[in-house]
Structure 1
Amino acid sequence: MRLQRLRIEQVRQFRTPMALEELQPGINLIHGPNESGKSTLVRAIRAAFFERHRSKSVEDLRPWGDSAAAPTIELKFDHDGQQWQLTKSFLQRKRCDLVIDGRSFSGEDAEEKLAELLGFQLPKKGVSKAEHWGIPGLLWVEQGTGQDIEKAVEHAGDHLKSALNNLVGEVASSGGDDVIQAVEKQRAELLTATGKPRGEYQQLAAERDERQRDLAELATRIEQYRLHVDRLGLLSAEFDRANAERPWEDALRRMEQAREQFRQVESLQQQQLRAQDSLGQVRQNLDLLRQNQEQMQAQGTKLKQREAELQAARQRLAGEEARTPGLDKAVKDARADYEAATRVVEQARQQEIRTRLQQDVARLEDRYRTLRQNLDKASGFQQQLDQGRQQKQENRIDAEAVQRARTTRRQLDEETIRSQAIATRLSWQLEPGHTLQLNDSTLAGEGELRLLDEGQLTIPGVGRLGITPGGEDLASARRTLAHLEQTLSEHLRALGVAGVEEAEQRLARYQDGERQVRHTEDLLLSVAPHGLERLRRETGDTFTELQGCKAHLDGALETAGEQADHIPGLADAEHARKVAEQRVAEAEADRNRHETRVLTARQTCETANREWQQLSTELERSGNPQQLQEIAGTIAATQRREAELVKNLEEIESRIRQARPDLLQQDIQRYRQAAETQQAAQKNRERELRDIRVRLEAWGAEGLEEKFNESTAELEHLNRRYSELHRRAEALDLLLTILTDKRQALTRRLQAPLQKHLDHYLSVLFPEATLEVDEHLVPGRFRRGNDLGQMTELSFGAREQMGLISRLAYADLLKDAGRPTLIILDDTLVHSDTGRLDGMKRILFDAAQRHQILLFTCHPEKWQDLGVEPIDLETLKAQPLL
């Protein structure tokens, strides 16, 4: 089967006709971006074959918002040397016409012919579903479903098996099925489908495991019983020996001895603290006596120092007072210079104000001229904008309504031409002087008319002939013409025009006015971005500001003096004033520092004089030599007391070091812990002895060894029965495997033609790999080297590749059986890596030698090396269909 031409109209986004012409027998690569209509073309092909033309469940074909649409699909293809042409319309104009080498079929007869040819079923009612699609559902891959093949094979299974039977003949194998079913039934009593025990076999295995666990537990408890008996004897001897020796009492006695020794050391430590306090007080008194002695010895020396300091202070005061007149004169001169510099700065500032006013006047004059020019231009643009808006308002019309009217008129023209082609043709050639009467018209001479409606032809002197054009198509054409004429009249009446040409002229004038308005608005915005009124106000404000600046400038010029040319710049004048101000500050600072030094010298002189007089008076009043002698005697007695205390303290410290108080504390802790540990150990022995005796009494009452012997006998019985069922299960499993292998060998004979095609394609992508099909012809087990698993366990991309390979193998099988094949791939292999994609291209190119393939993609760059010329949907949509 080779699809030659596809034409669609009023299908989803394709409101106007669009066609794929001259499709090639091999690969046809059709590309376009997302939402360009690729999936719509695939849906159109499916609808043409799968959907009944009278179905009401194909609303998805209707263009959005067009309730009057009649989606139409035309297909032209050849098969087995015959030319097939299918035309199918839905919704508003339900029709199905099929022409096979000149033989015409219509309606359901045409649809049944297509279903019989391609191997699918038509739904009894409603939309077509996957279970109806048969062979096309297997070979036509929708976007994102390439990896899902199991259901498609199931729906096409009968057709595939029929093709296999045509190739290898009928092979009956029901004779061995009864045996296999009987073996399976017996095996199912003992084993699950995965080979695990079930029923009595499973119960015996569970009981056997439980008995083994019980025996192991009993053996463990018997062993523990024996160990506890041994432990009881050893523990009893240890308990009796400890009770006799009582080692914890010796530890407690030694702990008390260590405590007594530590209390003696604590008494020595108290004596040490008291001796240290007494020594500290004696040394403190000794330090105070020595300080008093030193102070009294230093008072004579200090009086001489005070007299020398007094003479030096008087000399410094006299020197500072001599510098005062010179510093006062420097401050006065610096202030005079600063006042002169300040006057110059004021004159320079007035000069700068005049200069700035002149610059502002020049700037405002330039701005006023610019604003005045923009205002003149804006006024002209505003006038043009008003004219454009008036033209737009006078010719306002709905562009979409005009388009609908234009489309309706084109449909009316096309339907008129079609109706003329199928109308009843009446031609005449009369002798001169003879006429005929057709309804209310007179016919003379020669001519021709095409009749769509009934008419009456009157032959003078002969009679009347009734003319009734026949055929369902003609009646439909009359109804369609009437409907289109009424629709066109309604469109024109809604637009308020006499004809489509007038509507198009109004639309052109409206669009011209709209363009003029947009252009003028842009021009007006360029000269008056904030509006014409804002521009007028800004122009007036600028003029007012200009007049004010001129008035200020005139006033400044009148007040300018004749010496304006000799005034320095403002920056130079301010710099000179700053220098003068700095000299004033420095002079004043020097004078202030000098005044501070004078006051300081005077204060120092007065302080030195007062201290000298005070110290001299104190020395005269006190008897200094007698006090020095008394202090010396007190210091000697205090030193002897200090020596006695030091000797006593050293003896106490020696006795404390010899006693080692830190070791005594450790001994106390060690003996206490030893006593506690030994007492706790004896209590633990007593508790453990009690627990062991209770546990041994309980185990002795249970009869552990008798239970062990009974359980051993039961386990031997279970093992014998389990071994019997185990051998039977293994035998049945082996027998079923042998029978199944024989049955699979017979099945492989049926599958051999399909397996041959699968191996042919698979070897290109995976050398040495195999993909097996089950008895229902569904791809299942995949083997590659040491890897073995189901096809459904592969990655998404690998499953997609295996799905396409399987579909191509099915197509080869169908072609060998003489069945038609057409392969449609919508955005397939998008999950393949570069290496795998190259292999799949080789496979597709090989399959294209035997089948026609329509490959739709939004990634044409990935298929550049496929060896075919691509078809660009966007280019086709832009070209008018003749």
Structure 2
Amino acid sequence: MILQSLRIEQLRQFRNPFVLGNLQPGLNLIHGPNESGKSTLVRAIRAAFFERYRSTAVDDLRPWGDSAAAPTVALEFENQGELWRLTKSFLQRKRCDLTIGTSSFSEDEAEEKLAELLGYQYPKRGASKAEHWGIPGLLWVEQGTGQDLEQSVEHAGDHLKSALNSLVGEVASSGGDEVIEAVRAQRNHILTGTGKPRGEYLQLDKDRLAFEQTIGELKERILRYQEQVDRLGKLTREYERTEVERPWEDAQRLLDEAQARFQQVLQLEQVQAQEKATLDQLQQSRRLLEQNKEYQENLSRQLAARKLDLDKAEADLQRLELQSPATTERLRAAREAYESAEQRMKQARLREARSRLEQDVKRLEQRAQQLSQNLAKAGEYQQQVENARQQARENRIDAAEVKRLKVAEHQLNEATIRSSAIATRFSWNLEPERSITLNDDALQNRGEQQLLDESRVVIPGVGTLGITPGGESLASTRRKLATLQQTVSELRASLGVDSVTSAENRLSDFEKAERAQQHAQELLKSVAPAGIDPLVVEQREAKRELENATEKLATTPNSDTSIDVPDLATAEAAFEQTASALTAAESDDQKHRTALMAVQQTRDTAKAEWQRLVDQEQSPERQQQLKQIAEELVAIEQKTKALEERLEARSREILEARPDLLKQDIERYQSTIRNLRQTQEDRGRELRDIKVRLEAWGAEGLDEQLNEQEAELERCNRRYQELHRRAQALELLLTLLTEKRQALTRRLQAPLQRHLDHYLSVLFPHATLEVDEHLRPGTFTRGAELGQVTELSFGAREQMGLISRLAYADLLREAGRPTLVILDDTLVHSDEERLDDMKRILFDAATRHQILLFTCHPEKWQDLGVPPVDIQALKA
């Protein structure tokens, strides 16, 4: 199948006729930028084949905003030496016509011919979907779907298998399927799909395990029963022997002796702690006495130091008192400078405020004047808008209806001309004062008329002549002429015009009025963007602001001319400088007064301390206190020495008694007593438990239970082995039948695998791609790598999808089926090296198939070896 040309009209962005012609039998590279119409051309081809001409679900073909459009697609293609011409219109003018050589088909018959040729089907209702597209859905790749192959192969599966059967013969017959299904049904009754037991087979397997577990548990319980009998005899002997020996009583005696020795050591440690506390008190008293003695001895040194401090404080006070007058004078001068600068700054601000108000008044006067002018212009432009709107209302007319009237009158003129050419001409040349009658109309002198209908000529005194114009085309022309005359009359009446010229003049006046209205609205918007009413409000607000500013200016006084007032910036800078100087002077004065008060306080404190030390040094109580301290120090030294000797002797006695070992002995004997008593109690408790347990087990009849369970296990094993052998036999039989069936399937897949390997060797040398029983690419192997095609990267899946489609196309061509490959912006995710390999594959496939490659990146395909077709250039 070779597509030669494509013509579309009133379809999406192609409102005017667009022709894509001179298509080559091999590779065709068609390019254009985004939104240039590439996908629209692909959609047009799909609609021509897939969509029913009478479908109402093709609104996406309609040009935007044109509800009266009739999207039309016309195709010419060659198939097996015959030229096929297809024309299909949708929506407003639903029509389908197909010409094959000299044969013509229309409507549903034409669509069925196309579906039969290419191998697809139509939906019963609604828009065509992927499940209906068959072979074209496999070979025509939409933008962004190149990697999605499984669904397309599934929808085209029947057609592909039909092509394979025509090549290798009918090897895929279903004659053995019933046997395989029967064996599979019996096998599935016993086994699951993964070969696991099910039903009775599964239950027997579970019962066997349950019986084996129960038998194991019974044997273990019998063994434990025997072990418990032996344990009972051993425990009885140990319990009786221990009750006679009573070893915990010896441990209790040793514990009492250790506790008595430990109490003696504790009493020694208590006495030792008391005497250590007494020693600490004596040492503390000695330190206090020594500190008091040292204080009394240091009193003279302190008196000399206090005298020096007093002299220094009086000198500092005299120095600060001499600095006070200068500090006070600096503060007074700074305060006067600050007040003068503050006055000048106030006058400068007053003058600045009045100047600003004068400028505001002037600005507001200009703004009020401008708003008044804009308001006047807005009224003028508003009147122009109303005049233009009135003119548009008076001349309003439907441009589409005018176009229809023009087309109808043109067709009427053409039909009139054609009718004149084929009508029967009746001419007469009568003697003066002679007349005849033609269809009840009197004719005299000479003349000529064209007759389209059957007519009657009456010749007075002679008779009647009948004239019948002949030819089927004349009757058709007469009917068409009457229809066109009726259409023209109806259109003129609906538009209220008497001719096309008056309609066009009226349409011109209407369009001129609309342009005038738009121009006036733009002028109005330039002076009143929000409308006239807001402009009036804005003018009123401007006048009110002007009045307020004028009133405020009148109430603002002028600056004092008697003062030399600088500009505001200079005045503010001078004010800030004097404020800083005043702050510094105030700070210095405050620091001086603070320092003076501090020195006075220091002098007073030093004088009081010096006087106190003088009085204290000369008092008789100090002499008596020094004598008493010396006597107390001698007494404390004697007591301390005697106490230290006793502490040392008692420490040796405590150390020799080893209280740490005595404490450990107490803990060891206590633990021994507890363990011995607990062990004997545990033996008695275990003896009672074993007796109760043995009595219970003896009543259960464990040996009888074991014999019964072993018999049940034997019966279950016999039935399980029977079903096991049957399952293995069915599994083997099903495997043999399936392998035979798969061998036939592989024979069916061989032609497709051959074409697929041809392309795969270019893209992935030494790799293999297996086809499953549904003819879909499945396992991909490359070296040690093994996986599914769906696990590859996006770009690799897109490449594998394209070479698989080309292999399907080769298979269909080999089977004598028509092929056409359409690629819309494919391979966009391929790297440079893989893209070069894909170009070689496409060039090779183009020797056997026609390929239409649509792209928005022509620079990537410039080495494809074919001249590119520019959609933009065709549009121009």
TM-score bracket, normalised by the shorter chain, equals 0.7 to 0.9
Structure 1 stretch 803-812 or stretch 310-319: which is displaced more?
310-319
Letter in 2 for 1:556: D
| SS of alignment partner, residue 560 of structure 2 | helix
Structure 1 segment 748-763 matched on structure 2, within 5 A: 748-763=746-761
Q: Distance in 2 between matches of 1:251 and 1:27?
A: 111
Q: What is the match of residue 420 of structure 2?
A: 426
- Structure 1 residue 96: deviation in Å? 1.9
> Cα–Cα, structure 1 residues 344 and 162, in superposed 2: closer, same or farther, change >3 Å?
closer
Structure 2 residue corresponding to 1:502, chosen from 501, 506, 509 = 506
Structure 1 stretch 726-735 or stretch 839-848: which is displaced more?
726-735
Structure 1 stretch 32-41 or stretch 5-14: which is displaced more?
32-41
Q: What is the match of residue 462 of structure 2?
A: none
> Cα–Cα, structure 1 residues 231 and 761, in superposed 2: closer, same or farther, change >3 Å?
farther
Structure 1 stretch 18-27 or stretch 276-285: which is displaced more?
276-285
Q: Distance in 2 between matches of 1:181 and 1:603?
A: 122
> Cα–Cα, structure 1 residues 240 and 351, in superposed 2: closer, same or farther, change >3 Å?
same
Letter in 2 for 1:810: Y
Q: Distance in 2 between matches of 1:651 and 1:103?
A: 142
> Cα–Cα, structure 1 residues 660 and 173, in superposed 2: closer, same or farther, change >3 Å?
same
Alpha carbons 1:492, 1:498 under 8 Å: kept:
no
> Cα–Cα, structure 1 residues 471 and 277, in superposed 2: closer, same or farther, change >3 Å?
farther
* 2:384 maps to 1:391: yes
- Structure 1 residue 505: deviation in Å? 4.5
Deviations 1:795-842 (A, max 9, x none): 776665544434333322322233222233455556666665554443
Pairwise CA RMSD of aligned residues? 5.8
| SS of alignment partner, residue 556 of structure 1 | coil
Q: Distance in 1 between matches of 2:247 and 2:334?
A: 109
> Cα–Cα, structure 1 residues 583 and 804, in superposed 2: closer, same or farther, change >3 Å?
closer
Q: What is the match of residue 677 of structure 2?
A: 679
Q: What is the match of residue 556 of structure 1?
A: 560
Alpha carbons 2:354, 2:558 under 8 Å: kept:
no
| SS of alignment partner, residue 84 of structure 1 | strand
Structure 1 segment 225-240 matched on structure 2, within 5 A: 239=239
Structure 2 residue corresponding to 1:810, chosen from 808, 811, 832 = 808
Letter in 1 for 2:560: A
Q: What is the match of residue 84 of structure 1?
A: 84
Structure 1 stretch 695-704 or stretch 11-20: which is displaced more?
695-704
**Identical pairs, percent:** 47
Letter in 2 for 1:852: Q
Structure 1 segment 128-277 matched on structure 2, within 5 A: 128=128, 132-142=132-142, 152-153=152-153, 156-169=156-169, 194-197=194-197, 239=239, 242-243=242-243, 245-277=245-277
Q: Distance in 2 between matches of 1:400 and 1:164?
A: 71
Deviations 1:574-618 (A, max 9, x none): 7579768867875786588568756875786688668867976x6
- Structure 1 residue 267: deviation in Å? 2.3
Alpha carbons 2:348, 2:559 under 8 Å: kept:
no
Q: What is the match of residue 463 of structure 1?
A: 466
Q: Distance in 1 between matches of 2:163 and 2:316?
A: 138
Alpha carbons 2:399, 2:507 under 8 Å: kept:
no
Alpha carbons 2:140, 2:821 under 8 Å: kept:
yes
Structure 2 residue corresponding to 1:514, chosen from 512, 515, 518 = 518
- Structure 1 residue 87: deviation in Å? 1.9
Q: Distance in 2 between matches of 1:533 and 1:791?
A: 74
> Cα–Cα, structure 1 residues 170 and 217, in superposed 2: closer, same or farther, change >3 Å?
same
- Structure 1 residue 44: deviation in Å? 3.6
Q: What is the match of residue 653 of structure 2?
A: 655
Deviations 1:294-333 (A, max 9, x none): 888899x69x959x98999799879977996x66764676
In the superposition, the TM-score normalised over structure 1's length comes to 0.75
Q: Distance in 2 between matches of 1:574 and 1:153?
A: 90
Q: What is the match of residue 5 of structure 1?
A: 5
Alpha carbons 1:32, 1:874 under 8 Å: kept:
yes
Q: What is the match of residue 849 of structure 1?
A: 847
Alpha carbons 1:310, 1:609 under 8 Å: kept:
no
In the superposition, the TM-score normalised over structure 2's length comes to 0.75
Q: What is the match of residue 112 of structure 1?
A: 112
- Structure 1 residue 653: deviation in Å? 3.9
| SS of alignment partner, residue 85 of structure 2 | strand
- Structure 1 residue 86: deviation in Å? 1.7
Letter in 2 for 1:510: E
Structure 1 stretch 705-714 or stretch 769-778: which is displaced more?
705-714
Letter in 2 for 1:514: Q
> Cα–Cα, structure 1 residues 501 and 212, in superposed 2: closer, same or farther, change >3 Å?
farther
| SS of alignment partner, residue 852 of structure 2 | strand
Q: How many residues in Structure 1 have an aligned counterpart in Structure 2?
A: 855
- Structure 1 residue 84: deviation in Å? 1.9
> Cα–Cα, structure 1 residues 33 and 669, in superposed 2: closer, same or farther, change >3 Å?
farther
Deviations 1:123-154 (A, max 9, x none): 56655555654433443345566566566555
Alpha carbons 2:316, 2:599 under 8 Å: kept:
no
Deviations 1:750-807 (A, max 9, x none): 4443333233233333334444445665555555556666666767766655444343
- Structure 1 residue 38: deviation in Å? 5.2
Q: Distance in 2 between matches of 1:413 and 1:312?
A: 126
Alpha carbons 1:389, 1:514 under 8 Å: kept:
no
Q: Distance in 2 between matches of 1:419 and 1:849?
A: 52
Q: What is the match of residue 399 of structure 2?
A: 406
Q: Distance in 2 between matches of 1:124 and 1:64?
A: 28
> Cα–Cα, structure 1 residues 60 and 223, in superposed 2: closer, same or farther, change >3 Å?
farther
Q: Distance in 2 between matches of 1:675 and 1:716?
A: 58
Alpha carbons 1:436, 1:457 under 8 Å: kept:
no
| SS of alignment partner, residue 765 of structure 2 | coil
| SS of alignment partner, residue 499 of structure 1 | helix
- Structure 1 residue 75: deviation in Å? 2.1
- Structure 1 residue 164: deviation in Å? 3.8
> Cα–Cα, structure 1 residues 127 and 341, in superposed 2: closer, same or farther, change >3 Å?
closer
> Cα–Cα, structure 1 residues 338 and 204, in superposed 2: closer, same or farther, change >3 Å?
closer
Alpha carbons 2:313, 2:603 under 8 Å: kept:
yes
Alpha carbons 2:26, 2:851 under 8 Å: kept:
yes
| SS of alignment partner, residue 665 of structure 1 | helix
Alpha carbons 1:438, 1:456 under 8 Å: kept:
no
Q: Distance in 1 between matches of 2:808 and 2:269?
A: 110
Alpha carbons 2:395, 2:506 under 8 Å: kept:
no
Q: What is the match of residue 819 of structure 1?
A: 817
Q: Distance in 2 between matches of 1:473 and 1:757?
A: 59
- Structure 1 residue 79: deviation in Å? 1.8
- Structure 1 residue 17: deviation in Å? 4.3
- Structure 1 residue 2: deviation in Å? 2.0
Q: Distance in 1 between matches of 2:486 and 2:631?
A: 153
Letter in 2 for 1:395: A
Alpha carbons 1:314, 1:605 under 8 Å: kept:
no
| SS of alignment partner, residue 420 of structure 2 | strand
Letter in 1 for 2:267: S
- Structure 1 residue 98: deviation in Å? 1.9
| SS of alignment partner, residue 53 of structure 2 | coil
> Cα–Cα, structure 1 residues 417 and 663, in superposed 2: closer, same or farther, change >3 Å?
farther
What are the ranges of 5 or more consecutive residues in structure 1 without an aligned counterpart? none
* 2:54 maps to 1:54: yes
Letter in 2 for 1:113: K
Letter in 2 for 1:271: V
> Cα–Cα, structure 1 residues 152 and 216, in superposed 2: closer, same or farther, change >3 Å?
same
